[in-house]
Copies of this chain bind each other. A is one copy, B any other.
Amino acid sequence: MGCTTTQSQEGVSMEAGHFHLTALLATVLTALYWPNPGLSQDTVVHLMPAPQHIAINEGRLRLDRAFRVHLSGHSDPRLLAAVARVLHVMRNKTGIPLALLPSPDPEQSVFEIQCEGPGEKIQSVRSDESYTLEVNNRGGRLAAPSPIGILRGLETFLQLIDMDSESFYVPAVKIEDRPRFPWRGLLIDASRHWQPVEVIHRNLDAMAAMKMNVFHWHLSDDQGFRVESRLFPKLHQIGSEGDYYTQDEIRETVAYARNRGIRIVPEFDVPGHTTAWLAAYPELASAPGPYAIERSWGVLDPCMDPTNKKVYAFLDAFIGEMAELFPDEYFHVGGDEVNGKHWNANPRIRSFKARQKLKDNRDLQAYFNRRLARILEKYGKKMIGWDEVLHPNLPKNVTVQSWRGQASLADSVREGHPGILSYGYYLDQMQPAEFHYAIDPLGKEAANLRDADKNQILGGEACMWGEFINSDNIESRIWPRAAAIAERLWSSAETRDVSDMYRRLDYVNHELTARGLMHRCHYLEALQRMAGELDLDPLTKLADLLQPTGLSVRARTRKYSSLVPLNRMVDAVMPESEAARHLADLIDIALANPLRSKDAFQKIRALLTDWRDHRVQVKPFIEQSFILREVDPLSDAVFELCMAGLEALDYIEAQRKPTEAWQTKATSLLERCEKPQAEMLVAIVPPIQELVHAANAIP
């Protein structure tokens, strides 16, 4: 708590700027970014998020064992750790055995790091993250006003490493960079399904690589209470079944995040979503117990009693304990989805409302939130809550996180609250990256806001809710799609070329794998589990063409709970099929100029033939595995879609109109295949649809 007080007095001079991109920088961006046709070498960079300003110059810094780093300016233990980490990743990416310690001698170093000022004791939303990076064929120089800027610049440097016919190298560049928004978060729900601490750490590494700076740790919900509490040990003992973070692990993770320039904002969701608390301490509830950890999800009735003095005494002590564990100045109290049923059913609560002139449950929750805000203030914390906390009586310094819409974000800031956008950033909905990429916290809903209100929009957070994730598949559900959100929040608003984003997103996969992310590995392991000891290739080819449906669809399909195994194909396949996207790209090329795209047609034909022929190979898998049986119709669908696509290609290449019968059959096939099957979608339906439409359109 001492720490937090210190922190909130620091860096106030930075308060003014949220680093919205200046118009000047924005305009040069499109011109200078990516391939620079004036250069003798064909240098293309893959940076994600795209920097605010980059000039690619002539020359390449060749990487070899002589690469040494020298640190100058303000020293900070984070910088030493970061250099060792960067050199370790460089080892991973190049295989060159580099010395991990900085060189004491600037003359003997190839890369100079100049940190111009100290960092804050506790990183804050006001921290300066800007940096400049310059590389030429003799060396590089990274400078920043604070250690956080150095951390960001080092991640850029790592992403610049490439290879040509001569060696590994970093292209000569000059980069000036800073974030557009100061709050670029990722939420992980560790309650509905447990996520071990090493999973959290891997995701922190990936966040750092994508320059995200807030880890929002959803630590309690109806399905589990996940932090050790020494004051109220029944919280983790009864509320978690043994799957909780010890206080040592929390401290270690906070330090781990800090080393990577990431703040950790804990969320303890109250007064709803609290069944796990109430299982441990039923005396806090609005209805008589006993309670048990909830296994299913949704909006549930159990709820703390906001009229009970003991609740506030409990929360006061509990928040005091957590405030010391989590040094960040923000503290998230949830506040979402209180259905009020238990409040309505309790005569004591009803009469309290009448006495206090609280006309409805929204008023009652606002009463609760005001008292909560006072407790948080006492511990030097800023309160943050979901949309539903918004109420005329809510203190203005409470930050609102909008999950219900961009209009609701605009409402919040208009009413004087700082705001964060999560609507449109729900990764559990299994939307493609381009969907999230198009969502801008300063989008059209914010167009009519005054500038002062716009500045209250701090940024956004990607949300990984835990209904359908476990420690095996969480990484593939977050990455690489969250990188598109990271770019939306870091880069200029004008950086919005979708196909260039996807080009770089493929690269992000390799980048994150080189940094230890497991999403690719876990995918293969999950398929292997379903395949038994059979060779994996045919199954992988099928799985590469499938996509999971999102939370809303799955929740309607069958009765789920946290006890249902997430071991099916739908839990393994990637949210966005790269193979289908590749097909769609080829079809775009082919259809744009059917007479001059022989090569594209040939490639499409090869792909569709290959995929069509897999049905035979995949059958043995399906027969022997109870888990794969449900995949059979999907395998058939891929077969039929490929057949239809090949026939459509014939028509298009011959410019021959298909028969009515063919058209009817193809249309009905597409309609049938569009529907989810085994909670999955066949990702090649839309591109095949394009081919069929093109064939049908032949005069």
Contacts and interface: CB of A to CB of B under 8 A. Distances in A.
A534 to B, nearest CB: 10
Interface in A156-205: 162-167, 193
A525 B513 contact: yes
Interface in A465-514: 470, 472, 506-507, 510, 513-514
Contact of A524 (B92, B162, B520): B520
Nearest to A521: B521
Contacts of A571: 95
Contacts of A623: 165
Most buried by B among A101, A163, A520: A163
A629 B164 CA distance: 11
Contacts of A243: 100
Contacts of A655: none
6 contacts: A46-B533, A95-B571, A164-B625, A506-B533, A510-B528, A513-B528
A612 to B, nearest CB: 16
B524 A510 contact: no
A93 interface: yes
A99 to B, nearest CB: 7
A68 B506 CA distance: 43
Given A510-B528, A524-B520, A533-B46, A626 B96 contact: no
Contacts of A507: 533
Interface string A567-607: 11001000000000000000000000000000000000000
A662 to B, nearest CB: 32
Contact of A533 (B99, B164, B510, B520): B510
Contact of A95 (B518, B521, B562, B567): B567
Contacts of A524: 520-521
Given A163-B625, A165-B626, A241-B99, A93 B529 contact: yes
A475 to B, nearest CB: 12
Contact of A529 (B95, B530, B566, B627): B95
For the complex of A and B, 10 pairs with smallest distance between CB atoms: A95-B567, A521-B521, A95-B565, A96-B565, A507-B533, A166-B626, A165-B626, A510-B528, A163-B532, A167-B626
B525 A514 contact: yes
Contacts of A167: 626
Contacts of A470: 95, 97
A624 interface: yes
B92 A563 contact: no
A163 B165 CA distance: 47
A556 interface: no
B510 A624 contact: no
A94 interface: yes
Interface string A528-554: 111011000000000000000000000
Given A65-B563, A565-B97, A624-B164, A92 B532 contact: no
B97 A562 contact: yes
Contact of A165 (B530, B533, B629): B629
A495 to B, nearest CB: 20
A289 interface: no
Nearest to A101: B242
A238 to B, nearest CB: 13
**Which label, helix, strand, loop or mixed, suits the secondary structure of the A interface?**
loop
Interface residues of A, number: 52
Interface in A24-42: none
Interface of A: 46, 65, 92-97, 99-101, 162-167, 193, 241-243, 470, 472, 506-507, 510, 513-514, 518, 520-521, 524-526, 528-530, 532-533, 562-563, 565-568, 571, 623-627, 629
A96 to B, nearest CB: 5
Contact of A565 (B94, B518, B526): B94
A92 B472 contact: yes
A627 B167 CA distance: 8
Nearest to A194: B97
Given A166-B626, A565-B94, A626-B164, A100 B529 contact: no
A570 to B, nearest CB: 12
Contacts of A513: 525, 528
Contacts of A568: 95
Nearest to A525: B513
Contacts of A97: 193, 470, 562-563, 565
A472 B96 CA distance: 12
A45 to B, nearest CB: 11
Nearest to A99: B241
Contact of A96 (B165, B567, B624, B625): B567
Contacts of A101: 241-242
Contacts of A629: 165
A521 to B, nearest CB: 4
A163 B626 contact: yes
Contacts of A99: 241
A100 B92 CA distance: 35
Given A95-B571, A101-B241, 17 more contacts: A65-B563, A92-B472, A92-B525, A94-B529, A94-B567, A95-B566, A95-B568, A97-B470, A97-B565, A99-B241, A163-B532, A164-B625, A167-B626, A510-B528, A510-B533, A518-B521, A521-B524
A568 to B, nearest CB: 8
A302 B155 CA distance: 43
